[in-house]
Chains A and B, each alone.
Chain A
Amino acid sequence: MRIARISTKTPEQEASNTDLDLLNPLIEKYKDKKGKLIPLLQGTQDIFGYIPREAFLKISEETGLDLSDMYGVATFYAQFRLNPVGKHIVKVCHGTACHVQNANEVTESLQDALKIKDGETTEDGLFTLESVACLGCCSLAPVMMIGDETYGKLDGKQAVKIVKNIKIKESN
């Protein structure tokens, strides 16, 4: 079972950098549809990169969905994030094929290099490290994906090098 918690930031902290009006068209689109809850959450995450506490409140207020139902669904599915994410999400594949080709080494090296654990975001807000199941390119195992770019046949050292290169590019 997955366990997740809503961001612990206070509403004021959050509202200051979240433009909730962005949600209006989304709410308008799904308000009266059957089975709207998941598409609403997916849409919210597309806008903010995660689902802010304030967004839960606003959606609940305007659609009549129960907050507890929304929370229940948001914590049930792996896709939903309840905390802000970094600019680049580093998805390391831990599907079966990647596992037997030593995906653990890739994650461990990245954890060392970025000084974060799996699922966390670096302090500079540049990277979030995630484990995912099968990216569908098992013939290139082990694989990781950053943005739309997929990198295959990795080992720990190569993975770290790729991430470091992005970091260098970002600081220029």
Chain B
Amino acid sequence: METKVIVGLGSCGIAAGAGKVYEKIKSLKQAEHLDFDLKKTSCVGMCYREPLVEIIDESGSYLYGDVDEERAIDILDKHINQHNPVKEYVVKTDLFKTEDDEYNDSQVRIALRNCGFMDPEKIEEYEARQGYRAIRKIAGQGMPRLDVIQTVLSSGLRGRGGGGFPTGLKWKFANNNKSDEKYIICNADEGDPGAFMDRSVLEGDPHSVLEGMIIGAYAIEATGGVIYCRAEYPLAIKRLNIAIEQARAKGYLGKNILGIDGFNFDIYIKEGAGAFVCGEETALIASVEGERGMPRKRPPFPASQGLWKKPTNINNVETFANIPWIVLNEADEYKKYGTEKSKGTKVFALAGKIRRSGLVEVPMGMSIRDVIFKMGGGIQNDKKFKAVQMGGPSGGCIPEYLADTLVDYDSVNATGAIMGSGGMVVMDETTCMIDVAKFFLDFTQKESCGKCTFCRVGTKRMLEILDRITNGQGKEGDIELLEELSYQIKDNSLCGLGQTAPNPVLTTIKYFRDEYEAHIRDKKCPALVCKKLLTYEVDPEKCTGCTVCAKNCPTDCIDGERKEVHFIRQEDCIKCGTCYSKCKFDAIKLS
């Protein structure tokens, strides 16, 4: 067997320098005539260890982490030349234990089944991993459309784009509406800032999304397919384009697909133009039609009147990626995982102050604590875990004491957060919850399309109040005012954006009310984040008298001679934080 060296070239890997590592390995291979097959793959999910290089030889597979050019030279020399794997750099292998095993052990990879295991730009590699077998099975057995829909329905799969609507049911509606023109759309807008599951699937396994769409198209008799992908994902778009070309060449797209008489279907990509609200299905349709992405009233639902007023079915990337697996392995196999009402697995993007950040796919029903502490390895720098944000701008913060909440749609909803598309941003004691709420509101306020008054103006007023609170001008009654505005906005907005925009504020008030009160009453920020509420002092032990702070102070409120301890006159300090960021000796204390 020829030894394989595989470099992970997803966006995260490339950002960490995987491109340079690939080039280095390539040039070494040529220069030293090394005997191995150099290949590319995408993100395996262990983003915190990027760049990752896998070597597969007779003895097994070794995944090396944190590989820079220097380490690559070392690994090639020892592993390839001397047949001596460098154990201390290995982060994943079946041959011995590594300190990262906990990250991988509890995962069940269905949506991510191919990510990191194949070259996404080669259709043959997808086919070799059971790719396009599901649609072949349908064609081979002449499976009736309603049977396909029934399989998806029985699997219990719910939409992974955030809403959690049963996918089979949606397909049934779309199938019921007869028309000679129908569309199937893949929502790859991934608007939640801090989530990157869909991107990894598109980059790492574009064919499974295509196959999911082809199966969906068969089931609902769609004639055209659109992938609405955010323009910020250039690599995903490139790989999707390659995949579509290859699928056309092999007859998975086109006329009479796989010999199914009259099954004509093709897919094209529509690049988004950067508007969060375009993730909402009616806004997305407007955007594909070339309009401003403004949501409209439902009904009529897209299933009866969607793109170009024709019946349309919209699903999320991860939803589609699950479909081929379900069709191939049957609904019962999928149903084995998960809880009563949430079946199967869910991909989460772990980020923030967590030790191991990256992508994990876990069975529904695992506890948040297990995801963060067992898989994610806990909090960076041994700080204290404070909360986890789920569901992005539509979601909320779940506090430490509710960490035993299970990840399924209903349990997460009960906390006031939502499952959302799967972003989990972990926060520690140095994160200010009011600052986080303000961050999200600033986002939704900018992204509101402006159609509904409550969403357009209400979010702005809420943002102003939060601004005041974090600037030390909070007033008694502000919390109640925020709550009142929240309910008004929720009740009087047309689409999900406005209806959920207040969630980050409501959940932080619910679980961290004391922090709001500290800001408002005591003018203190317990997490030491809100600059205007801090006191800046010089630490006499650390100050060297270098005068940098005094020179940069915009109000000249720092006194002191060169080489002597400096002193900040509090009455003139405007709390701009300049001294803190300029000091090279860490001598400015915050309290």
Q: A residues engaging B (CB < 8 A)?
A: 1-2, 34-39, 41-42, 69, 72-73, 76-80, 94-97, 99-101, 105, 108-109, 132-141, 143, 150, 152, 156
- For the complex, what is the distance from the CA of A22 to the CA of B448, rounded to whole Å? 34
Set of chain B residues within 8 Å of A137, measured between Cβ atoms = 11-12, 15-16, 47, 196
B517 interface hit (Cβ, 8 Å): no
Set of chain B residues within 8 Å of A73, measured between Cβ atoms = 290-292
- For the complex, what is the distance from the CA of A134 to the CA of B196, rounded to whole Å? 8
* Shortest Cβ gap from A104 to chain B (Å): 9
Contact indicator A80/B273 (Cβ below 8 Å) = yes
Contact indicator A97/B15 (Cβ below 8 Å) = no
Question: Which one of B16, B358, B427 has the highest number of Cβ atoms from chain A below 10 Å of its Cβ?
Answer: B16
Contact indicator A96/B352 (Cβ below 8 Å) = yes
Contact indicator B358/A139 (Cβ below 8 Å) = yes
- For the complex, what is the distance from the CA of A139 to the CA of B352, rounded to whole Å? 8
- For the complex, what is the distance from the CA of A166 to the CA of B161, rounded to whole Å? 40
Q: Which residue of A lies closest to B277 (CB)?
A: A76
Q: Which residue of A lies closest to B459 (CB)?
A: A1
* Shortest Cβ gap from A136 to chain B (Å): 4
Contact indicator A101/B352 (Cβ below 8 Å) = yes
B446 interface hit (Cβ, 8 Å): yes
Set of chain B residues within 8 Å of A150, measured between Cβ atoms = 11, 14-15
B residues 227-244 in Cβ contact with A at 8 Å: 231-233
* Shortest Cβ gap from A108 to chain B (Å): 8
For the A-B complex, the count of residue pairs with Cβ-Cβ distances under 8 Å equals 134
- For the complex, what is the distance from the CA of A136 to the CA of B450, rounded to whole Å? 27
B409 interface hit (Cβ, 8 Å): no
Set of chain A residues within 8 Å of B270, measured between Cβ atoms = 35
B323 interface hit (Cβ, 8 Å): no
Asked whether A78 and B275 contact (CB < 8 A) given A100-B427, A152-B16, the answer is yes
Question: Which one of B271, B273, B275, B423 has the highest number of Cβ atoms from chain A below 10 Å of its Cβ?
Answer: B273
B357 interface hit (Cβ, 8 Å): yes
Contact indicator A97/B194 (Cβ below 8 Å) = yes
Q: Secondary structure of the B side of the interface?
A: mixed
- For the complex, what is the distance from the CA of A139 to the CA of B46, rounded to whole Å? 9
Using an 8 Å CB-CB cutoff, how does the interface string of B44-68 with A read, 1 for contact, 0 for none?
0001101000000000000000000
Contact indicator B194/A138 (Cβ below 8 Å) = yes
Set of chain A residues within 8 Å of B288, measured between Cβ atoms = 35
Set of chain B residues within 8 Å of A139, measured between Cβ atoms = 12, 47-48, 50, 351, 357-358
B residues 115-129 in Cβ contact with A at 8 Å: none
- For the complex, what is the distance from the CA of A80 to the CA of B15, rounded to whole Å? 25
* Shortest Cβ gap from A105 to chain B (Å): 7
Q: Which of A95, A105, A140 contacts B15 (CB 8 A)?
A: A140
Contact indicator A95/B290 (Cβ below 8 Å) = no
Contact indicator A38/B290 (Cβ below 8 Å) = yes
- For the complex, what is the distance from the CA of A113 to the CA of B449, rounded to whole Å? 34
Q: Which of A96, A105, A135, A141 contacts B581 (CB 8 A)?
A: A105
Set of chain A residues within 8 Å of B193, measured between Cβ atoms = 94-96, 133-134
Using an 8 Å CB-CB cutoff, how does the interface string of B250-286 with A read, 1 for contact, 0 for none?
0000000000000000000011111110000000000
Asked whether A96 and B446 contact (CB < 8 A) given A134-B193, A137-B47, A139-B47, the answer is no
Set of chain B residues within 8 Å of A140, measured between Cβ atoms = 12, 15-16, 47, 50
B residues 513-539 in Cβ contact with A at 8 Å: none
* Shortest Cβ gap from B2 to chain A (Å): 32
B425 interface hit (Cβ, 8 Å): yes
B residues 335-358 in Cβ contact with A at 8 Å: 349, 351-353, 357-358
